[in-house]
Amino acid sequence: MNWSDVVFPLIAFMAGLIVTWWLRRRAYKAMFRWAERTEWKGDDILVAATRVPSILWCIILSALLAVEVSTLSHIWKTRAINGLWTLFIISLALSVVNVASGFIAYYGDRYKASQRAIIISNNIVRIVVFVLVVLGLLDVWGAPTAVLLIAIALAVLILVLSLREALPNLFAGLQLNARGRIKIGDYIKLETGEEGYVKEIDWANTHIEALGGGIVSIPNRKIVQGTVINYGRQLKQAREPFHFFGRAHLKELTGLKASNLRELVDILKTVPDSVVYYHTHNFIEEHHYLTPEPANDFSVWVSDALDDDILGERLAAIDTFEFTSLAALKDRLVSIIEEDLGQAAQHLHGHREAPEGREFNFIKSISVIVPTNYIVHDLREFLEALQVISLSSLYFHIFEARLRLGKGQNDFSAWLESSLDEKELAQDVARLDPYNYTLEGLRSLLIQLIEKRVK
């Protein structure tokens, strides 16, 4: 063997190694400078997955150059080149798998993807890379690939047909994870009515915990294709849940009648609070679709039946919202009427009789309180329940709880402050004068206040 048969390939190998090593150093320096200017973690993944294999690539490429200039026979040269290319393709494939796995793990953690979705994504990458490696190696060694391509095509077709229902959900799940608009812990509501906290997003379904308990599984494609309201992360849990109650209202005639102011005030002093409550609140409940007037049955009767507009206006001017108990409200009514009776010497209306048939009939309000199925634990659940509860339930917690049950404030503001520590929101709710709104208008105002706090 001539000495040149060894020297020239060795020179080619060393020259190739020097050049490729220089190019590698330049490439990694540029990558490090880029990494310093950005906060993206992808460059770290890329460096970690290629730093060691890139040394092997420099050696392989240099060896290829040496084989090309060698005096080996055509058969041995071809075998050597094919072997080196095989080694290069396999090492490159392993690096691609490592890079892809790093990106899948990074973005899976960033978008809170389920562990199952991460495993499936890694397996898909490995299968695709494996198929490409096999095709590449067959091409390098000159083996026929037509039969393999047909077999792969048939396998893919069979897989697609068998998974024709699952694939749309799989792609939708990948889309949900990629977008990151819906994450674990978010409270979502679909246009079809399903709502709750997102517990898991797997390859086929999104699992949510419904308001009343229990897990609801929704196909991923339904979430991607439909309209979804995302209220965001879970809110602070109340120390005590709020239980909504409903109210059935009955009225009962007491048999007591008044024909003049003296009879009116004497009977008013003796009747129970339920009578005062009925005659000051029945308009709100029976005509909830109208803006309540600041009037009560006493003022209306005095103006219409006794034709005393001055006293009627004085009674109508009483602001019910100022009082925290029915006893205090009754005392105010009695004092105004007695003050007017004390002026009977100057005004003859003190002995004015109501026309026959237009006497004031005292009516007692009877309430039957029943629990509802709505039990809420945070502001978002409270908001959802507030949108669907009956007007009788709203009336009970706003009006009846405050005066008739002697709590001094409505149930909503009391719960917000005591169980959720939402003092500012509780004050805003407590400051609302419910007598100036219809029940639906009051519901809308409450919803606006809660929505502003939730957002």
pLDDT in tens, 24-52: 888 888 877 777 777 777 777 787 788 88
Helix ranges (DSSP H) in 111-165: 115-140, 146-162
pLDDT of residue 361: 94
Q: Are 382 and 454 in contact (CB under 8 A)?
A: no
What CA–CA distance (Å, rounded) separates 128 from 139? 17
Other C-beta atoms closer than 10 Å to the C-beta of 392 total 20
At 89, is the pLDDT very low, low, confident or very high (cuts 50, 70, 90)? confident
Q: Are 192 and 229 in contact (CB under 8 A)?
A: no
Task: Using the CB atoms, write b or e for 307-338: b if 16+ within 10 Å.
Answer: ebeebbebbbebebeebebbeebbebbbebbe
Q: Are 100 and 125 in contact (CB under 8 A)?
A: yes
Q: Are 276 and 330 in contact (CB under 8 A)?
A: yes
User: Sheet holding 195-201: strands in order across?
Assistant: 215-219, 205-210, 195-201, 187-190, 228-232
What CA–CA distance (Å, rounded) separates 52 from 18? 17
Other C-beta atoms closer than 10 Å to the C-beta of 27 total 12
pLDDT of residue 309: 86
pLDDT tens digits for 374-386? Answer: 999 888 889 889 9
Mean pLDDT of 200-212: 75
pLDDT of residue 135: 78
Instruction: Output DSSP code: residue 229.
Output: E
pLDDT tens digits for 92-128? Answer: 888 888 888 888 777 777 666 666 667 777 788 888 8
Q: Are 362 and 275 in contact (CB under 8 A)?
A: yes
pLDDT tens digits for 246-292? Answer: 888 788 899 999 999 999 999 999 999 889 888 888 777 666 555 55
